[in-house]
Structure 1
């Protein structure tokens, strides 16, 4: 949504680190149609950090003619 039309963002391989944070697990307490089952839900939190200011670039996307 923040990238203008005709533009795109590309990332350079091995210049962006991804991290996993806390994971939570809990029993799903809403029954709905699950009468004889135990259902558990998990949530994981992730974030990333570039190694330097050259980890990504804004590029112009050229239209390719059909045919």
Structure 2
């Protein structure tokens, strides 16, 4: 009889989320490179979008002003 978990009952969900996030990051980076953008451009875009998500438009303006 096979075991129902890859690692353990507690670690499997964390492992799955980590693999999913990593796969998404690799795909996004690959697609952005095909468009001619660098990895740093992709990271800057991610930071800007994250700021919009958590801080709203005000947070984005403040970060752009600081840069």
Question: Shared fold by TM > 0.5?
Answer: no
Per the normalisation by structure 2, the TM-score is 0.22
Per the normalisation by structure 1, the TM-score is 0.22
Q: Which has the higher strand share?
A: 1
- Higher RCO (C-alpha 8 Å, min separation 6): 1
Q: Which has the higher helix share?
A: 2
